[in-house]
Amino acid sequence: MTFEFSKTLTATATTIPGVVLYDLPVHGDNRGWFKENWQREKMMALGLPDFSPVQNNISFNETAGTTRGIHAEPWDKFISVATGKIFGAWVDLREGESFGAVFTAELDPSQAIFIPRGVGNAFQTLEDDTAYTYLVNDHWSADAQGQYTFLNLADETAAIEWPIPLEQAELSDKDKAHPRLADVTPMPAKKILVVGADGQLGKALRAAYDGDTRVEFAARADFDLSSEASYNTRNWKSYSTIINAAAYTAVDTAETPEGRQSAWAINVTAVASLAKVATRHGITLVHVSSDYVFDGTAQSHDEHEALTPLGVYGQSKAAGDAIVSTVPRHYIVRTSWVIGEGSNFVRTMASLAARGIAPSVVNDQIGRLSFTEDIAGGIKHLLETETDYGVYNLSNDGDPQSWADIAADVYELTGHNRDSVTGISTAEYFNGKTAAPRPLQSTLNLSKIKATGYVPETAKQRLADYLDEGANA
């Protein structure tokens, strides 16, 4: 067998999304040859996913013409030839527009190919004594066989031109019995799990993903973040993403002994459990953070600012952020002044205006509202565009305002006199009351999220829309 030595390590995209063909440097001399079949650092630099392989399998084939497949397993594979030569055929058996797409190539030891979950794999040996190797990111088990998808090697739609006609090749009886493409049930995409789906953000995520069968919504009754059983009764290999929309947000109550315990249980301990699952199974974890992780001394907060929380709530959110940042695949979405379906500041001000009450509202806390519609849209954008993992600020856009400014806007937009709102300092407002410390500056710098192509609506426009929808509800 002859093949080219000392190729440059290169990656070539194929006709099937996610399937990538690699040329490997093989170094030879009078003794034989040597190659780095799998080199994580170099291959990731070329764009190969960090798919965390856990098992290496070898298929030895004694004679040329041995043909195996077409099998799509519920895991990713990095395939190469140890010795000999093969004709490889791959068919996309995943749900989606590329279902049925075909790619073929001849592989010798100087090449390898990455095959994502759900893409059917088949090969035919072109030389005697050929060894075909698989590096996979899940352990084989008898239970997993029920999740396989198969296609007949002779399928007329795929129309694979086998170098050695199948009637002359060595096939197993099982492979001969696999269905044609028209009878294949496509392998479903991995699921997205939304926990905390009954809260303000959870309801907005339900609307954002309405009709998407990949997304599973778990309210508190469906997934108890504090229960070990919630984490042990799911097949996590069938999930690509967890969106954590659950949080303890009672800022003032968090300062009490009972509230402190609850805040840490939900915002830290439960987050640690989600992080452990995500890390172990290669799942992307989306976690929602808060402006309360900062002390509010900076005029605008960017994603690189050190965490400086003032109160128990902020401290618990900062601890949760630190945990999530250790997950290899994570998005921390930092928001401020969240407004969605349910009780909130805007609804309270609208109610006061309707009753003719003239409130005193703090005027030295500055920031922007974050409507759950836009938070959900931003999360969906990050996941769909596969933007770099990390921290992203996400509030609505526009000029920063005080709570008093926003209250005055609510009065005006609901047909009342904005001068009914009186500004008051935070110190005056909470004088004699038990309250958690608040950051005075909560404005989030949105440059990073905008650079990904997501530009949130202005807070003023979204406020007008929100009040208009409420009036017409």
Task: List the structure tokens of 48.
Answer: 């190969």
Query: Helix, strand, coil proportions of the chain in percent (round to 5)?
Result: 30, 25, 45
Exposed/middle/buried for residue 186 (C-beta within 10 Å: 0-12, 13-18, 19+): middle
Q: In 3-state terms, what secondary structure has residue 344?
A: coil
pLDDT band at 268 (very low <50, low <70, confident <90, very high): very high
Length of the chain: 473
pLDDT at 1: 58
Residue 66 is given by DSSP the state B
Do residues 247 and 267 touch, judged by C-beta distance below 8 A? Answer: yes
134 in active site: yes
pLDDT band at 317 (very low <50, low <70, confident <90, very high): very high
pLDDT band at 235 (very low <50, low <70, confident <90, very high): confident
Closest by CA position to 287, among listed 254, 313, 323, 340: 323
Residue 96 neighbours by CB under 8 Å, 6+ apart: 186, 189
Residue 406 neighbours by CB under 8 Å, 6+ apart: 345, 346, 349, 369, 459, 463
Residue % of the chain over a pLDDT of 70: 97
Taking only the tens place, the pLDDT of each residue in 148-175 is 899 999 999 999 999 999 999 999 999 9
Q: How far is CA 190 from CA 99, 241, 262, 381, 462, in A?
A: 15, 8, 32, 17, 33
Mean pLDDT for the stretch of residues 433-458: 96
The three-state DSSP-derived secondary structure of 137-178 is: CCCCCCHHHHHCEECCCCCCCCCCCCCCCHHHCECCHHHHCC
Out of 132, 134, 411, 454, the active site residue is 134
Q: In 3-state terms, what secondary structure has residue 216?
A: strand
pLDDT band at 233 (very low <50, low <70, confident <90, very high): confident
CB neighbours of residue 221 within 10 Å: 7
CB neighbours of residue 387 within 10 Å: 17
Give the amino acid at 366: I
pLDDT at 31: 77
Task: List the structure tokens of 473.
Answer: 């509800």
Closest by CA position to 322, among listed 338, 333, 307, 344: 307
Q: How far is CA 292 from CA 187, 286, 322, 460, in A?
A: 43, 18, 14, 22
pLDDT band at 342 (very low <50, low <70, confident <90, very high): confident
Q: In 3-state terms, what secondary structure has residue 401?
A: strand
454 in active site: no
Closest by CA position to 295, among listed 305, 285, 304, 286: 305
Taking only the tens place, the pLDDT of each residue in 62-94 is 999 999 999 999 999 999 999 999 999 999 999
Distance CA 345, CA 421 (A): 14
Q: In 3-state terms, what secondary structure has residue 183?
A: helix
Closest by CA position to 98, among listed 16, 19, 153, 21: 16
Closest by CA position to 173, among listed 68, 74, 87: 68
Encode 234-256: b = buried (16+ Cβ within 10 Å), e = exposed.
bebbebbbbbbbbbbbebbbbbe
Q: Which domains does the chain have, with CATH numbers?
A: 10-183 (2.60.120.10), 191-472 (3.40.50.720)
**Least confident stretch, 35-39, 121-125, 183-187, 207-211:** 35-39
- What is the pTM (predicted TM-score) of this model? 0.88
Which stretch of DSSP H or E encloses residue 359? none
- pLDDT of 194 higher than 80: yes
pLDDT at 340: 94
Taking only the tens place, the pLDDT of each residue in 10-66 is 999 999 999 999 999 998 877 788 888 989 999 999 999 888 898 999 999 999 999
Out of 71, 281, 330, 381, the active site residue is 71
Distance CA 81, CA 398 (A): 57
Taking only the tens place, the pLDDT of each residue in 358-416 is 999 999 999 999 999 999 999 999 999 999 999 999 999 999 999 999 999 999 999 99
Do residues 244 and 286 touch, judged by C-beta distance below 8 A? Answer: yes
Q: In 3-state terms, what secondary structure has residue 126?
A: coil
CB neighbours of residue 317 within 10 Å: 28
- pLDDT of 472 higher than 80: no
Which stretch of DSSP H or E encloses residue 112? strand 111-115
- pLDDT of 146 higher than 80: no
Distance CA 124, CA 167 (A): 13
Which stretch of DSSP H or E encloses residue 279? helix 270-281
Distance CA 465, CA 408 (A): 16
